[in-house]
A and B are shown apart, each in its own frame.
Chain A
Amino acid sequence: MKNLTKLALAGAIAAVTATASMAQELYTPNLSYRTGPFAATGIPLMNGQRDYMLMLNARDGGIGGVPVNFEECETGYSTEKGVECYERTKGQAIVTQPWSTGITLQVLPLTNVDEIPILAPGYGFSPMSDGKVFQWAFNMPAGYWDAASMILNELGGGTPAGLAGKKIGFLHLDHPYGKEPIPFFENMAAEHGFEFLPIPVGLSEMQNQSAQWLQIRRERPDYVVMWGWGAMNAGAITEAVKTRYPMDQFIGVWWSGHDADLAQVGADGAGYRSISWSQPQNDSGVMQAVNEHVVSAGDSLASDEERSGVFYQRGVVMSMMLAEAIGNAQAEFGVSEISASQLRWGLENINLTADRLAELGATGMVSPFSTSCSNHTGHAGGWMLQWDGEKFVQASDHLTSDMDAIKPLIAAAAADYAAANAPWPTNDDC
């Protein structure tokens, strides 16, 4: 009996301690993938995200004095595992970061019920931009349709009208992510009179794309646009080099612009371009802070080479945007330990001006943008980065997407989604 009493007492103390410790943190789980076929591209991004939060914890004691618990849940880029991770972490989470368009689409309806914001920076479902319909989903600073629009503008010499009569091959992963921009491309092809040719790449064919590149040889597209991920990127780039496809006619989305993928071909890949909403700034204040508080302390998982790359520093920017939203919510509601719904307000009120970016030490890493209740993307625009044989360098001025073309499509797609999933709650206050 005595032992039982002791055991009960110990249990109670442990429960109280655990509750207290849980309450003294901001739990922002990341549904990461450091294993499996997509790990090669996932790892640097997740290292960047992690290191920024570690830096805030080390330098500032967290955000608003509350440490950030940036726990990772491994999904292996599997949608099923991603949903499991979401279910496992949602109890205490103030945000979920699904890290795959497939997982995002699965948890999208769940977050309406659980009232947890989804943060999917630069990925996910493009109509999530419509905050009135997708109250809990955010994909700032730019969505896939922004990327598609900027690419078409660039290829058309400033406007997609310049592509009339041309043929564009769309090499994409045969996965929800790869198919995401197809409605936008098809719409623009019909409007501007260019031919759009989708070329899917299956998971098991990512490293042997000879059939896809034979099709490209036969169809002779004027440009090849790539929506690749994981091993598909390196597979496509090596195949393009092998088949002597002109690299200056080959252009990828921001997830197809990873330094390590291009390193497979080195100088042979020179000229390849990738649209990007972020760009590395090795000497920036934020990178110096990460070096000082995380790298020097031996807490970073990334190598020196990785930390100077596009993906790692994009991960840093992702966490910076989340931290900014948390800070906004703390200031607005006057509490340090914010709730998920308070964070939603924070995400809807991001205002990263040039001055604020300078204050954060991130000038040039992402362009200034703001979000609102109705605009969950921000549509920040980006830059064209080009592989010079050794690294990606900026190859354009700041680019923006054609919002006149995107907005009606977003509204229509969001309305279709809501109708197909009725009853779907909307935020009529927006």
Chain B
Amino acid sequence: MEMLSKIFVEPFADMVAAPDFLMQVIWEGLVSGVLYALIALGFVLIFRSSRIFNFAQGIMVVFAALTLVGLHAMGIPAWVSVALTLVVMFIIAVAIERIVLRPLVGQPDIILFMATIGITLFLVGTGETIFGGENKVMITSELGIPTGDVVLEPFGGFLLLQHLDITVVISAALLVCALLVFLGKTQMGRAIRALGDDHQAALSVGISLQTIWVLVWFVSGIIALVTGIAWGARAGVSFALEIIAFKALPVLMLGGLESITGAIIGGLAIGVLEKMFEIYWGQPLLGGNTEVWFAYVLALGVLLFRPQGLFGEKIIERV
């Protein structure tokens, strides 16, 4: 009986008793969710256009952030460093298409997936050789990102909103809007979607596979840079950032590998739900640290009923 109360009564009583704390939990969950969604977006974009599950997305985040910080450490102004980092990410996109993907056109998906593992190892080695493994400080203030906070008093309580978190949320929203406009309203964007829908048909109407692949890997590089800045501003820039890519996997399972909307909603849902579960059920009942597995269990539950994820396309293959 006591256990039932701890599961079904006490958490909700706590929420009602301290609504300001509940708001803080939801806000922190939303911020985490936005960060998860950003990583997932990089995966989705590449998968949509090429059916490649890009294992290298995590290390791209690290590499982009390290490049930015490394360039600035050489005395280059912050925003010039951002521009140069984008140039580096473009060069990487071109190199990946020319050296890795082009020779593998027509190969099974698993071969392309394995190739992205190779890209990961290459970027890890190159990054460590050039930048070293030490934790570096993100150039947050140099980029003009505010670092203060706002204190609100809802219900007479205490709600703390970091300027950095607010900036991340707004930047991510703008990035997603720009991405949606690009994919929906521009010729290149439509070409990416066409390629994702049907390779053969897209190629037959003159869409260049090589150009599109370079483009999507470059856009993923841009997303990686934004993600790297957002995460790096929280706890520094090191190879530990690579681990956060694993947080995108349940988001993709939940939202679907092909859907940008799925990545966003999946990220936000997992961010908020895992935070609420951890605070109101995980910590009191299970000793905490449930965030490590909660998102996977949630995604697994969804997969039982919708194997393609909440927003994924149902693929019917006929024999």
| A positions within 8 Å CB-CB of B | 34-44, 174, 198-208, 210-212, 214-215, 217-218, 230-231, 234-235, 238, 242-244, 260-261, 263-264, 306
Contact = CB atoms under 8 A, between A and B. Distances in A.
Given A205-B292, A211-B279, A35 B35 contact: no
Given A34-B128, A43-B134, A231-B236, A202 B289 contact: yes
Contacts of A212: 288
A144 to B, nearest CB: 20
A224 B18 CA distance: 23
> Which 5 A-B pairs rank lowest in CB-CB distance, beginning with the nearest?
A39-B133, A231-B240, A37-B240, A40-B135, A202-B292
B167 interface: no
Interface string B246-282: 1100000000000000000000000000110011000
A264 B288 contact: no
A231 B135 contact: yes
Contacts of A40: 133-135, 236, 238-240
A204 B246 CA distance: 8
B287 A200 contact: yes
6 contacts: A206-B243, A211-B279, A214-B24, A218-B18, A234-B135, A261-B135
Contacts of B128: 34-35, 39
Most buried by A among B25, B124, B149, B240: B240
Most buried by B among A43, A207, A234: A207
Contacts of B180: none
B247 A204 contact: yes
Contacts, number: 131
B288 A218 contact: no
Interface of B: 18, 21, 24-25, 28, 31-32, 35, 124, 128, 132-135, 137, 149, 160, 162, 231, 234-236, 238-244, 246-247, 274-275, 278-279, 283, 287-289, 291-292
A214 B32 CA distance: 13
B238 A37 contact: yes
A35 B24 contact: no
A35 B124 contact: yes
B17 to A, nearest CB: 11
B56 to A, nearest CB: 16
A260 B135 contact: yes
Contact of A235 (B28, B234, B242): B234
Nearest to B289: A200
Nearest to B292: A202
A242 B163 CA distance: 10
Contacts of A43: 132-134
Contacts of A34: 128, 133
